[in-house]
């Protein structure tokens, strides 16, 4: 039988070696930073980040889980970027919203985060150079699209730089953690909709009051021992609340998609999406003529949405996501064909697609 003391000593020795290797890696990172500075290259490279994570996954023989390895290396990359120049990221706040959680998952704990009150404020922070990136919600698998995010792209020159897919788990939080103490519940309307059946079943007749965000709901509950909030695990930590119940969402496959916005899109990574928006001529078969080039050039469309243009009655703007990068020949040809049939056309960006 293996000796427990010897095994623990082996682990201790390996931990020391890991720390030593991380510091050696950091020294090389600092050299990379100087080389980039000399050549005036941006510190953060999504293409390079994706390549590192892909290579690690492919070379991992186990038994260490690849998904956990990915999370660890995302933090290592975040710390490495911070050694060169800390990234600044604006997100739809306040602190402890799901957008905040998605931002931290993507950019790690070493980045600097700035909460903004509205989606428009996030766009403005990026446009004015206050931050490197902005993170905004765009759609939820249960409740559909966030219209205001789509609307912001109509007049903005910012691009989509990446996307984040975050599984959303809602929780009921309070100061005491006791169900019997709850006389009212605070929630963001979308969070309430995601948990409607559970709330009706467990709290019939209890008033549910709308808040601007799940984080705002959690913050309000800190001052009211007879109230509860529907919010994230991060909100429980930030606002020092206890769990009445975890995972109260009605749909266990509840995923929200977030967009990362920046002043430019990254280069090809090998697994990319391209997003466009356009309006079409008012004539029979107009939408068919727009979609035909994608089939002709064998491009898979992953999403198509329409929104009123707000400029002319019954005029609509279409938003389309497709697989592939605009630098690919077939994507470029399809886009050129589509443009011929459009009154208005805009590429929103080519970017790494989320896992």
**Residue 52 CA: distances (Å) to CA of 95, 146, 185, 188, 193:** 30, 32, 44, 37, 39
- Pairing relationship of beta strands 227-231 and 133-140 according to DSSP bridges: unpaired
Helices 46-59 and 66-84 cross at an angle (nearest 10°) of: 150
In DSSP terms, 316 is beta-bridged to 308
Q: What is the CA radius of gyration of the chain?
A: 23
Maximal CA-CA distance, the chain: 80
Catalytic sites, residue numbers: 256, 258
- Please say whether the beta carbons of 321 and 301 come within 8 A: yes
Q: Cα(247)–Cα(233) distance, rounded to whole angstroms? A: 10
Between the alpha carbon of residue 100 and those of residues 95, 107, 111, 136, 245, the distances in Å are 6, 10, 12, 9, 22
Token readout for 34 is 């100087």
Q: Residue 144 burial by CB count (10 A; 0-12/13-18/19+): exposed, middle or buried?
A: exposed
């Amino acid at each position: 039988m293996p000796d427990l003391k010897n095994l623990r000593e082996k682990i201790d020795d390996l931990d020391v070696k890991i720390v030593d290797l991380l510091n050696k890696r950091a020294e090389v990172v600092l050299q990379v930073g100087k080389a980039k500075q000399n050549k005036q290259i941006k510190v953060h490279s999504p293409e390079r980040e994706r390549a590192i994570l892909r290579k690690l996954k492919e070379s991992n023989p186990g038994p260490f889980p690849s998904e956990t390895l990915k999370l660890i290396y995302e933090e290592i990359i975040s710390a490495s970027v911070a050694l060169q120049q800390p990234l600044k990221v604006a997100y739809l706040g306040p602190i402890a919203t799901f957008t905040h959680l998605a931002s931290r998952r993507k950019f790690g704990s070493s980045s600097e985060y700035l909460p903004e009150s509205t989606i428009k404020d996030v766009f403005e922070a990026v446009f004015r150079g206050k931050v490197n990136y902005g993170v905004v919600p765009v759609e939820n698998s249960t409740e559909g699209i966030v219209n205001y995010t789509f609307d912001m792209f109509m007049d903005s020159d910012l691009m989509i730089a990446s996307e984040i897919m975050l599984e959303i788990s809602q929780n009921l939080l309070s100061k005491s953690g006791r169900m019997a103490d709850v006389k009212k519940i605070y929630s963001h309307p979308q969070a309430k909709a995601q948990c409607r059946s559970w709330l009706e079943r467990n709290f019939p007749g209890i008033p549910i009051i709308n808040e601007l965000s799940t984080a705002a709901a959690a913050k309000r509950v800190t001052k009211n021992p007879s109230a509860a909030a529907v919010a994230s695990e991060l909100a429980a930590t930030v606002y020092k609340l206890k769990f009445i119940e975890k995972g109260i969402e009605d749909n266990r496959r509840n995923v929200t998609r977030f967009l990362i916005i920046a002043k430019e899109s990254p280069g090809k990574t090998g697994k990319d999406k391209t997003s466009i928006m356009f309006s079409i001529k008012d004539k029979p078969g107009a939408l068919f003529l727009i979609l035909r080039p994608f089939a002709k050039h064998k491009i898979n469309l992953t999403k198509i949405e329409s929104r009123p243009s707000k400029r002319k009655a019954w005029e609509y703007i279409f938003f389309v996501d497709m697989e592939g990068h605009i630098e690919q020949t077939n994507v470029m040809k399809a886009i050129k064909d589509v443009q011929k049939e459009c009154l208005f056309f805009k590429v929103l960006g080519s970017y790494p697609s989320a896992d």
